[in-house]
Amino acid sequence: MTTVVRVETTPSSVPLHTPFVTALRRTETVDTVLVRVTDSDGRVGWGEAPQVWQVTGESLASATACLEQMLAPAVTGHALDDLDDLTALGRVVARTVARNFGAKAALDAALHDLLAQAEGVSVATLLAEGRRVPERVLVTDVTLSAGDAADLADTARSRVADGFTTLKMKVGTDADTDVQRVASVRDAVGPGVAIRLDANQGWTREEAVRVIRALEVADLGVEFVEQPVVADDIEGLAWVRERVGLPVMADESCFGPYDLERIIRLGAADLVNVKLAKCGSLAVGRDLLRRAHDAGLRTIVGSMMESHVGVGAAAALVAAEPTTEVSDLDAAWWSVTSPVDGGIAYSGNEIRLPDASGFGVAGLSVRA
């Protein structure tokens, strides 16, 4: 019988090649906690808990404390031989502490990595449950940080030259000039590049309707507008959606199943953005995608500012349970280097999953 014998945490801070700026925050580093889980056969599984004060409320200190003081003792010694064991461990992780979804997701990913390695398959194959053969190459959008119109136009041209065909613009910092900035980017890249917007809760209800209607009048070819109002105002999200034509996406308003059911019941969104650090596990993320699809909602999978470990877990989810739209998996692309050897790799707008069991992570990188 294989058992979980050790859970270890390592803080990681990797510089970005370009500052990442939204309506909520600015950062020049990816700050996360890397999690390694060792089983009794000597295999090591990997996960990652990002520090995201403004969205999940978790920090390096809180994730480390949660993992070391609560979650590690709860799973150590438990069997991990098959999917039933993995499901049982998932229930243990879920009930041991309230919330702390980033820490939970990190441990959950590492446990999936361990079992997938033991079975000689990828995590994506494990998650797919035989329903499909997962893709090994995925397409991602790329984010344009909040900025002035001229800088955004220059950055947009650069990102298209880098091979990206879907741009995710950060807006919500100034409702009076948001439309001008979107127009500047559209003029810079032409009609063939997809543009989607993320307000990161930056508008009031009234501002959201005013800006989105202006975008519609300007006919700028926007795919959708993500999280136009504050996260807790799901009624406000529905209020905005009723008054505009562009599709509306819920991100910070949708952490887990309860939020998703409320969004469906209120007709609050056309799309949802599923993130592991919000929902706490790969299986829950997969179930959220399935439920959203059954309800007629479109989907993407995103990540926080995470390294190749966390984004690799999100990519495995997309490979196992494809989203309806191009997902938002560029976070690790912003990093100057990876804190680990192996795992996912970027090529233009593509993410390549490794041809290896588990997540394909070989160990900590000496470069990071």
What are the boundaries of each domain within the chain? 4-120, 137-364
Q: CB of 269 within 8 A of CB of 231?
A: no
Just list the catalytic residues.
170, 275
Q: CB of 238 within 8 A of CB of 267?
A: yes
Judged by DSSP in three states, 360 sits in coil
Query: Residue 197 pLDDT > 70, yes or no?
Result: yes
Q: CB of 112 within 8 A of CB of 282?
A: yes
% the chain with pLDDT above 90: 93
Fold of the domain spanning 4-120: Enolase-like; domain 1 (3.30.390)
Length of the chain equals 368
Residues 27-40, mean pLDDT to the nearest whole number: 96
The predicted-structure confidence for 62-84, as pLDDT tens digits, reads as follows 999 999 999 999 999 999 999 99
The predicted-structure confidence for 240-252, as pLDDT tens digits, reads as follows 999 999 999 999 9
Read off the tokens for 368.
Answer: 């990071």
Query: How many other β-carbons are positioned within 10 Å of the β-carbon of residue 216?
Result: 13
Query: Residue 23 pLDDT > 80, yes or no?
Result: no
Going by C-beta distance under 8 Å and a sequence separation of 6 or more, which residues neighbour residue 265?
none
Read off the tokens for 172.
Answer: 């919500």
Phi, psi of 238 (to 5 degrees): -65, -40
Report residue 367's pLDDT band, with 50, 70 and 90 as the boundaries.
low
Fold of the domain spanning 137-364: TIM Barrel (3.20.20)
Report residue 125's pLDDT band, with 50, 70 and 90 as the boundaries.
very high
Report residue 368's pLDDT band, with 50, 70 and 90 as the boundaries.
low
- How far, rounded to the nearest angstrom, does the alpha carbon of residue 194 sit from its chain's CA centroid? 19
Q: CB of 217 within 8 A of CB of 188?
A: no
The predicted-structure confidence for 80-105, as pLDDT tens digits, reads as follows 999 999 999 999 999 999 999 999 99
